[in-house]
């Protein structure tokens, strides 16, 4: 449809492979991103969900693109970003990947005790650099300490309109159905949400970031 408003959401972890049977990743369940995709669809937006490996079903009516590595996620996000009015990065992108990918399974007696890592691209940072005035960009900060201060730095550095701050101490936010968030805007607004289920939270976040 011609006048559809596009919404682009990333969710879940990325996997960074050492060889065909081993990878580095994190426990992100994708629940927050999938809840946002459902909520955005319910509001009549045309939703593209770029998802790392999770066990959740594709939300009805949402266009889901499955990716694996940070590089794959970056490519797909970059393709869809220009057409997106509202972009939300909830994905737990691995910041590093093994320097060398071994085409063949490394035999156990040959696995090095030290795996050399190199930095992955910061997807949100690059989206922020290309953001137009008519686009809204939202990030999710995963923090274990100094949550608000760290999130405010990310809000500025990545040129975001909003950032939602997650406490990921002990993986509680990653795997739980509930979450406790603070949403901060680039205009200095700060909204603290009580702990509640991610589906209700997703609706409240959308009400604020895309009224
Ligand atoms: N992000 C991204 N690409 C990365 C790392 C993070 O796009 N390589 C995005 C996440 O999807 C999230 C935001 O940046 O929306 C903040 O992610 P977070 O993990 O909290 O912060 P980092 O930028 O990775 O910084 P640090 O690890 O130092 O906290």
Q: pLDDT digit of tens for each residue in the chain (211 aa)?
A: 557 999 999 999 999 999 999 999 999 999 999 999 999 999 999 999 999 999 999 999 999 999 999 999 999 999 999 999 999 999 999 999 999 999 999 999 988 889 999 999 999 999 999 999 999 999 999 898 999 999 999 999 999 999 999 888 776 667 788 888 999 999 999 999 999 999 999 999 999 999 9
CA 91 / ligand 1 centre spacing (Å): 8
What pairing do the DSSP bridges indicate for beta strands 46-51 and 22-24? unpaired
Q: Which of 127, 113, 179 is nearest to 158 (CA)?
A: 127
The residues, ordered by sequence, that sit 6+ positions from 66 with a Cβ below 8 Å of its Cβ are 51, 52, 53
Tell me, using a 6 A CB cutoff, whether residue 67 lines ligand 1: no
Tell me, using a 6 A CB cutoff, whether residue 124 lines ligand 1: yes
Q: Which of 163, 104, 112 is nearest to 138 (CA)?
A: 163
Reduce the DSSP state of residue 49 to 3 states and report it.
Answer: strand
Active site residues: 26
Neighbouring-strand partners of residue 142: 166
Tell me, using a 6 A CB cutoff, whether residue 141 lines ligand 1: yes
């Amino acid at each position: 449809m011609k006048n559809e408003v596009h919404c682009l959401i990333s969710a879940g972890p990325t996997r960074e492979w050492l060889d065909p049977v081993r990878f580095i990743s994190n426990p992100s369940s994708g629940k927050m991103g999938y809840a946002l995709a459902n909520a955005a669809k319910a509001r009549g937006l045309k939703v593209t969900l770029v998802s790392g490996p999770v066990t959740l079903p594709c939300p009805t009516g949402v266009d889901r693109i499955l990716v694996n590595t940070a590089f794959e996620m970056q490519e797909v996000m970059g393709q869809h970003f220009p057409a997106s009015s509202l972009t939300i990065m909830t994905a737990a992108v691995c910041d590093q990947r093994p320097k060398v990918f071994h085409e063949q399974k490394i035999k156990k007696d040959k696995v090095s005790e030290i795996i050399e890592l190199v930095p992955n691209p910061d997807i949100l940072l690059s989206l922020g650099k290309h953001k137009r005035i008519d686009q809204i960009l939202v990030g999710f900060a995963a923090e274990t300490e100094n949550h608000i201060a760290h999130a405010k730095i990310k809000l500025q550095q990545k040129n975001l309109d909003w950032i939602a701050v997650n406490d990921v101490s002990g993986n509680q936010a990653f795997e739980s159905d509930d979450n406790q968030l603070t949403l901060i805007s680039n205009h200095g607004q700060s909204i603290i949400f009580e702990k509640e289920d991610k589906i209700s939270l997703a609706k409240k976040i959308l009400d604020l970031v895309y009224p």
